[in-house]
């Protein structure tokens, strides 16, 4: 719906004044040099829409001493440009301007006694008059459109400024207010109801006991029970049951294949049913991965001769098969258990919690361990079973006050272990050195000297070992290959040669290959499937990744026909929980992709790293399940001696903003004392960084309490910045594309990158960008066009043409539906259909979509400092030099209409890269960034965080007033969740449309940044 004529005229005029905001600079001069875009436009760094330069001297700005030293222009330089005519003058008026300028220099007073001016000065007078009229229109238009929903936002008298902010006690009575104030006023202990034991259902107990007796006469159940009796866990049944009955916490450690994950929950359930207490038994068993929860639940249901949904079920994100309410086992991901704690903080309907794979110490598992430890005193009937690998079980027992431990020995056939030196010998593969190529472990080095030091350390480490190999009679090509640092790089040709060697010389049996990530999996899968040796009739090649759809993941458990060898290419997802019975050969690349967090630089890194000894042992244990197996480690025995014993806990290498929101929504008290109780507490600097980010997002207040916005964000299953993005999208009615963006960023990039097709993929992404210079819009366009094609049955061809993964797109579509359900439950939308027309009135407005993305991702802002063909250099508030990720569509344009970019992630690999960027204009920052401050100096400044915007006093007043009104509206919408009726004339609708009009108009500005250079380091 279009604006009224008056409001539309108002929006058009506002943009004239707001375009005076042409000077942008970082205020933190110690870190970042002032960046004066107005001077750039005057000296040739901006180009008109027609392409004509305003100045030919494109390098003059950098040649001045003031710029070279990091300061702004001198007074003399500025005065040179103040004499130019104001914007808007045309033809004869420009001549009059210069005439009047000449008269002033000669001392002639152009002002008349009646206050009027000469003809050439009529435009500034007209501008002032129009500005005053617009100021009145702003007040009158908004005040006269008063409605009951936002009456508290508008002043009682005409012209009075709306004060931003609402006291929480002034929030209208609603379910939201009740829940929010309950969270604000108490903590988990304070609001938890008194302990009430579960009520026994005698009739159900008899029914469950009778059903178990009937099963014991079923042929399938008997056969499954015989198979279960062969597992090592069967011998420990009585010991496990007695320990759980007599202790509140028990740690059970076991080798791979001992059966602890499938058998221990069944021991507990069957014991309760046999004792006539089945109705008092409800077991939740957590798994760190989706595929583990599903596959284990299916296996346990088969062992109980049932279908899923009776005594056994599972629940993961977007998928579930729930069991009965009592006398049951529920396998779920750790995140699902956190959701249960939000609605039921005492878990009063749960009797046993089994936390599996705790030795991995992922961030959610450590979080759950701490919460459960605090919960136990309030739930004396609750039993907790911690299941771990054998390597560090003692540390978990100590954390739970030296609780008892039970060890279950593993049951595997002997596994023969080979290392890299043996693999090179078997395959006759020769590794060649690569000149001028940086070794993989020296990604952080920046010059030849550091690389030389790294190479010397490698030679020092390997020297004695190579002499030892030579004495053992290893071939010369093995010694030569291992002497090169490149021998420790990921080598797909070597892995392919090893697979071929196994297939040619070793007995039948499935092969399991461990690789760091999806890129390596895709590359190896392509190399193997395209090789003539690996024909489809004789080989079944299956990738395995946690982000694959569940239906695809299930294929790995199926046994192929006789004569067909199964080859599984997986990440560390296959290390634990998943048991593939027919695996005989394991190829361990020795690498795992780990996300780390540098707290000092507040910077995330994502690099393949060496596995720990615990990881290597787990991978080795995957072989030998059905007969003697073989494990090939693609690292030398000498490197194995350098491996860390255990992986670093995820909480020590991750951002903590999501964790902190969970701490607050669960009312666990102050963040720092709670996190100090974690088994291995995170760095206090990491906690402080996360608190600062949540303050910037307005998710926490100065007292570390959840704000209304933070309360909403904590309930969304995603990063708080992405959560804020979709809330803004619901308000500005561009929901579907923003949901596509948020789902893609929180899940997986839907684009494939086939080997050799990189340029074709870049071309397709550039076409999808529609010239908007936005990776985020590429994602939304890809999803939108695929959904259209899929609706007509043409989705597969569309994915093939555009190098997209249909499985990832299906998951993104399902996530969008789930997020829409969350928004409807929170009352921000009135439909669960992301494509509802009423929720997508502005979904074709690219400028608004980018502004909403900016609203969510702020303060992730970077400034472009260098454009030289394919090389773009940017700066952030903390880094002097960062680069766009090579996959970004913004690597292609050579001109940009703005120097501001919003980004999703900043990761350090070979260098610091910005992932998923969009070019934005100043207006989104002014409306959706942090609080504005107005300073009056020689030039009026509107400041926010590290940015300064220079403009006229009148422009600054208008911006500040409009921002205050928008802040008031946003705060009201957050504290009074409801959908805007766009068929009415509500003031909130008019205000939102005014903002949309301003953002859209600014996006059509006729200036662009041309080829310029910053020679600073």
pLDDT of residue 70: 38
* Class of the CATH-defined domain 489-649: alpha beta
Per-residue pLDDT tens over the stretch 135-144: 443 333 333 3
DSSP for residue 283: E
Provide the β-strand partners of residue 570.
514, 544
Per-residue pLDDT band at 1001 (split at 50, 70, 90): confident
Judge whether 281 and 198 are in contact, CB under 8 Å: no
pLDDT of residue 254: 86
Give yes or no on whether 202-408 and 489-649 have one common fold: yes
The pLDDT of 775-795, averaged and rounded, is 94
Nearest CA to 150 out of 137, 135, 166, 138 is that of 166
> Over 90: is that where the pLDDT of 405 sits?
yes
Q: In sequence order, what E strands does 322-414 have? A: 328-333, 352-355, 383-388, 405-408
Per-residue pLDDT tens over the stretch 301-339: 999 999 999 999 999 887 889 999 999 999 999 989 988
Give the HSE-up count for residue 376: Cα atoms under 13 Å, Cβ half-sphere.
17
Judge whether 209 and 274 are in contact, CB under 8 Å: yes
The mean of the pLDDT values for the chain is 78
Residues 6+ apart with CB under 8 A from 494: 423, 424, 427, 429, 431, 634
- DSSP reduced 3-state for 436: coil
Domains in the chain: boundaries: 5-108+117-144+876-1009, 202-408, 489-649, 655-694, 712-857
202-408: CATH architecture? 3-Layer(aba) Sandwich (3.40)
Per-residue pLDDT tens over the stretch 171-199: 767 777 777 777 776 544 444 556 677 78
> Over 70: is that where the pLDDT of 400 sits?
yes
> Over 70: is that where the pLDDT of 801 sits?
yes
Could you give the CA distance from residue 248 to residue 243 in angstroms, rounded to a whole number? 9
Judge whether 898 and 46 are in contact, CB under 8 Å: no
Per-residue pLDDT tens over the stretch 14-56: 444 344 443 444 443 333 333 333 333 333 333 333 333 333 3
Could you give the CA distance from residue 935 to residue 958 in angstroms, rounded to a whole number? 14
Residues 6+ apart with CB under 8 A from 400: 249, 251, 373, 384, 386
Per-residue pLDDT tens over the stretch 700-758: 988 888 888 999 999 888 889 999 999 999 999 999 999 999 999 988 888 876 656 77
Per-residue pLDDT tens over the stretch 524-541: 988 998 888 998 888 998
Tell me phi and psi for residue 935, to 5 degrees: -115, 140
Cβ count near 822 (within 10 Å): 18
pLDDT of residue 594: 79
- Sign of the alpha-carbon torsion through 144, 148, 150, 153: positive
């Amino acid at each position: 719906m279009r604006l009224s004529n008056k409001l539309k005229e108002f929006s058009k005029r506002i943009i004239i004044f707001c375009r005076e905001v042409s000077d942008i600079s970082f205020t933190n001069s110690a870190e970042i040099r002032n960046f004066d875009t107005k001077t750039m436009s005057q000296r040739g760094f901006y180009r008109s829409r027609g392409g004509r330069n305003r100045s030919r001297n494109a390098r003059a700005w950098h040649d001045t001493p003031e710029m070279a030293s990091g300061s702004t222009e001198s007074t003399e330089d500025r005065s040179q440009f103040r004499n130019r005519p104001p914007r808007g003058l045309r033809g004869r008026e420009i001549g009059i301007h210069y005439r009047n300028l000449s008269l002033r220099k000669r001392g002639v007073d152009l002002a008349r006694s009646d206050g009027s001016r000469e003809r050439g000065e009529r435009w500034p007078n007209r501008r002032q008059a129009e500005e005053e009229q617009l100021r009145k229109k702003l007040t009158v238009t908004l005040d006269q459109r008063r409605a009951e929903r936002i009456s508290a936002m508008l002043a009682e008298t005409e012209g009075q400024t709306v004060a931003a902010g609402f006291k929480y006690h002034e929030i209208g009575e609603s379910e939201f207010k009740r829940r929010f104030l309950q969270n604000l006023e108490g903590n988990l202990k304070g609001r938890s109801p008194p302990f009430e034991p579960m009520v026994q259902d005698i009739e159900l107990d008899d029914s469950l006991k009778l059903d178990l007796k009937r099963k014991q006469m079923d042929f399938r159940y008997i056969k499954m029970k015989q198979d279960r009796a062969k597992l090592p866990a069967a011998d420990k049944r009585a010991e496990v049951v007695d320990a759980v009955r007599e202790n509140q916490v028990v740690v059970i450690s076991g080798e791979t294949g001992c059966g602890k994950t499938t058998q221990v929950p069944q021991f507990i359930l069957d014991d309760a049913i046999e004792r006539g207490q089945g109705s008092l038994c409800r077991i939740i068993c957590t798994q760190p991965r989706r595929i583990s929860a599903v596959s284990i639940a299916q296996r346990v249901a088969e062992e109980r001769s049932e279908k899923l949904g009776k005594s056994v079920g599972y629940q993961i994100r977007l998928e579930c098969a729930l069991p009965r309410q009592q006398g049951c086992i529920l396998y779920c991901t750790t995140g699902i258990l956190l959701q249960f704690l939000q609605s039921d903080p005492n878990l009063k309907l749960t009797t046993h919690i089994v936390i599996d794979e705790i030795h991995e110490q992922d961030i959610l598992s450590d979080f759950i361990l701490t919460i459960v430890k605090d919960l136990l005193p309030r739930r004396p009937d609750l039993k907790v079973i911690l299941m771990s690998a054998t390597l560090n079980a003692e540390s978990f027992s100590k954390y739970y006050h030296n609780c008892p431990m039970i060890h279950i020995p593993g049951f595997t056939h002997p596994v023969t272990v080979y290392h890299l030196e043996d693999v090179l010998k078997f395959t006759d593969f020769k590794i060649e050195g690569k000149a001028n190529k940086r070794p993989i472990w020296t990604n952080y080095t920046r010059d030849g000297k550091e690389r030389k030091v790294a190479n010397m350390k490698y030679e020092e480490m390997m020297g004695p070992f190579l002499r030892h190999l030579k004495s053992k009679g290893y071939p010369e090509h093995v010694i030569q290959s291992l002497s090169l640092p490149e021998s420790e790089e990921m080598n797909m040709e070597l892995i392919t040669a090893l697979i071929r060697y196994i297939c040619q010389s070793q007995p039948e049996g499935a092969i399991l290959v461990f690789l760091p990530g999806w890129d390596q999996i895709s590359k190896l899968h392509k190399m193997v499937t395209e090789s003539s040796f690996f024909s489809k009739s004789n080989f079944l090649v299956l990738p395995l990744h946690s982000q694959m759809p569940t239906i695809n993941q299930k294929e790995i458990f199926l046994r192929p026909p006789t004569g067909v060898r199964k080859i599984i290419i997986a990440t560390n997802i296959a290390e634990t929980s998943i048991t593939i019975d027919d695996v005989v050969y394991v190829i361990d690349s020795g690498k795992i992709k780990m996300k780390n967090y540098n707290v000092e630089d507040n910077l995330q890194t994502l690099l393949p790293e060496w596995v720990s000894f615990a990881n290597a042992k787990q991978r080795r244990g995957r072989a030998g399940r059905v007969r003697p197996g073989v494990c090939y480690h693609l690292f030398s025995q000498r490197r194995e001696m350098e491996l860390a014993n255990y992986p670093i806990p995820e909480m020590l290498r991750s951002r903590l903003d999501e964790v902190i929101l969970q701490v607050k929504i669960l009312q666990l008290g102050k963040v720092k004392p709670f996190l100090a109780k974690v088994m291995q507490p995170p760095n206090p600097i990491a906690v402080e960084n996360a608190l600062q980010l949540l303050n910037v997002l307005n998710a926490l207040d100065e007292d570390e309490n959840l704000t209304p916005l933070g309360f909403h964000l904590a309930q969304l299953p995603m990063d708080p910045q992405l959560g804020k993005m979709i809330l803004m999208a619901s308000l500005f009615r561009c929901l579907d594309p923003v949901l596509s963006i948020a789902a893609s960023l929180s899940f997986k990039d839907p684009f494939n990158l086939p080997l050799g097709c990189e340029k074709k993929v870049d071309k397709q992404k550039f076409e999808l960008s529609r010239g908007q210079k936005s990776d985020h819009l590429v994602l939304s366009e890809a999803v939108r066009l695929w959904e259209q094609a899929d609706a007509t049955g043409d989705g597969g061809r569309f994915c093939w043409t555009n190098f997209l993964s249909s499985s990832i797109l299906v998951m993104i579509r399902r996530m969008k539906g789930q997020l829409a359900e969350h928004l409807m439950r929170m009352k921000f939308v009135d439909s669960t259909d992301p494509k509802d027309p009423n929720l997508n009135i502005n979904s074709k407005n690219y400028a608004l979509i980018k502004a909403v993305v900016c609203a969510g991702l702020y303060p992730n802002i970077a400034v472009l400092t260098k454009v030289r063909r394919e090389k773009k250099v940017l700066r952030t508030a903390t880094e002097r030099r960062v680069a766009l990720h090579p996959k970004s569509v913004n690597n292609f344009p050579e001109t940009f209409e703005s120097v501001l970019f919003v980004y999703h992630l900043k990761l350090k690999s070979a260098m610091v890269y910005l992932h998923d960027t969009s070019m934005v204009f100043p207006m989104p920052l002014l409306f959706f960034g942090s609080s504005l401050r107005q300073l009056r100096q020689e030039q009026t400044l509107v400041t926010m965080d590290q940015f300064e915007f220079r403009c006229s006093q009148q422009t600054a007043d208008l911006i500040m007033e409009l921002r205050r009104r928008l802040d008031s509206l946003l705060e009201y919408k957050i504290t009074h969740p409801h959908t805007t009726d766009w068929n009415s004339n509500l003031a909130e609708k008019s205000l939102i449309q005014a903002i949309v009009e301003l953002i859209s108009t600014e996006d059509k500005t006729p200036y662009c940044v041309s080829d310029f250079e910053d020679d600073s380091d």
